[in-house]
């Protein structure tokens, strides 16, 4: 069974000027997402800056999200690591804290063979009872999870059920769909490719765009599933200039800048990420105006 269908928000983590997590602001962001009809909250992922959180902070963010959401939508917790034992620890704790599913990025820096990936993900999944989504993002990790490995894991490990595909390789995505026989739920990891992936049989998107436009991102998926392909496509195309602006610097630099321009006051990213360059911020401001999100 799918963890969710539609648009899941890879939610930012708001920080105070002191650098601590701003939980009051975090609650506002979560409530805005649910009010915007989002279908899932993905906490402590790349967009949430888990890479620069301590374990205590990461687990606190997961617990807080689960406590605020209160079952209204599924909560998926990012618990992946390049250290299998560390990923198991985070995953076990996230399950205890109430997460409905896990997002497991492929090992970075040390990488792994495809057989190593199978062993890594199997060990994590077998440590918990909640379902897991594999996260294939070669641009971040320096390695690719092949279609054969993804399908093998979903067929042979009961609670590995899906993949967030951010490779941008539609030939590989089509191979997954062809080989999977329905055992793999595929989510787009790229906001500019939602409709094409849905056309191949995808379940939705894990989105950065939805931080600023939850209703519109939800609607891209909902319209498609209701058979209004033209409406879905038009909304996807309308969002492309904004999506480009949200990725003109490394994520989540632009999306945090966008939320600040919208008056959400989420703070700045933690180093080594920096504030957005002024020229890029002007492009972002223009696209937020064009999309009707600010005046």
Active site residues: 135, 164
How many beta carbons lie within 10 A of that of residue 230, not counting itself? 9
Which bin fits 111, alpha (ψ -120 to 50), beta or left (φ > 0)? left
Q: Output the six-digit token pair for 203.
A: 């379940």
Question: How far is residue 17's CA from residue 103's CA, in Å, rounded to a whole number?
Answer: 29
Residue where the block lists tokens 């999306």: 255
Instruction: End-to-end CA distance of the chain: give it in Å, rounded.
Output: 42
Residue where the block lists tokens 């994590």: 124
Q: Output the six-digit token pair for 80.
A: 């992946």
Residue where the block lists tokens 């792994």: 112
Question: How far is residue 194's CA from residue 188's CA, in Å, rounded to a whole number?
Answer: 6
- CA 201 to chain CA mean position, Å: 19
If 0-12 CB within 10 Å is exposed, 13-18 middle and 19+ buried, where does residue 278 land? exposed
């Amino acid at each position: 069974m799918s963890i969710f269908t539609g648009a899941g928000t890879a939610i930012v983590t708001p920080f105070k000027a002191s650098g601590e997590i701003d939980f009051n602001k975090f609650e506002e962001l979560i409530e805005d997402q649910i009010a915007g009809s989002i279908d899932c909250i993905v906490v402590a992922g790349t967009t949430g800056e888990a890479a620069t959180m301590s374990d205590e902070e990461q687990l606190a963010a997961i617990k807080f999200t689960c406590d605020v959401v209160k079952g209204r939508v599924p909560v998926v917790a990012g618990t992946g690591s390049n250290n299998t034992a560390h990923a198991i620890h985070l995953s076990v704790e996230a399950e205890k804290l109430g997460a409905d599913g896990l997002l497991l990025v492929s090992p970075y820096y040390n990488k792994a063979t495809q057989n190593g990936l199978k062993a890594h993900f199997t060990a994590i999944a077998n440590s918990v009872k909640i379902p897991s989504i594999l996260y294939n993002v070669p641009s971040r990790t320096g390695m690719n999870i092949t279609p054969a490995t993804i399908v093998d894991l979903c067929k042979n490990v009961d609670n590995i059920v899906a993949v967030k595909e951010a490779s941008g390789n539609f030939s590989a995505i089509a191979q997954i769909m062809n080989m999977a026989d329905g055992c793999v739920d595929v989510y787009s990891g790229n906001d500019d490719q939602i409709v094409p992936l849905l056309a191949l049989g995808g379940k939705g998107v894990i989105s950065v765009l939805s931080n600023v436009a939850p209703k519109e991102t939800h609607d891209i998926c909902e319209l498609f599933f209701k058979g209004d392909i033209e409406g879905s496509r038009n909304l996807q195309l309308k969002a492309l200039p904004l999506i480009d602006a949200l990725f003109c610097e490394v994520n989540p630099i632009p999306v945090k800048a966008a939320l600040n321009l919208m008056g959400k006051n989420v703070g700045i990213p933690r180093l080594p990420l920096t504030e957005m360059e002024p020229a890029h911020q002007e492009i972002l401001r223009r696209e937020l105006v064009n999309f009707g999100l600010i005046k």
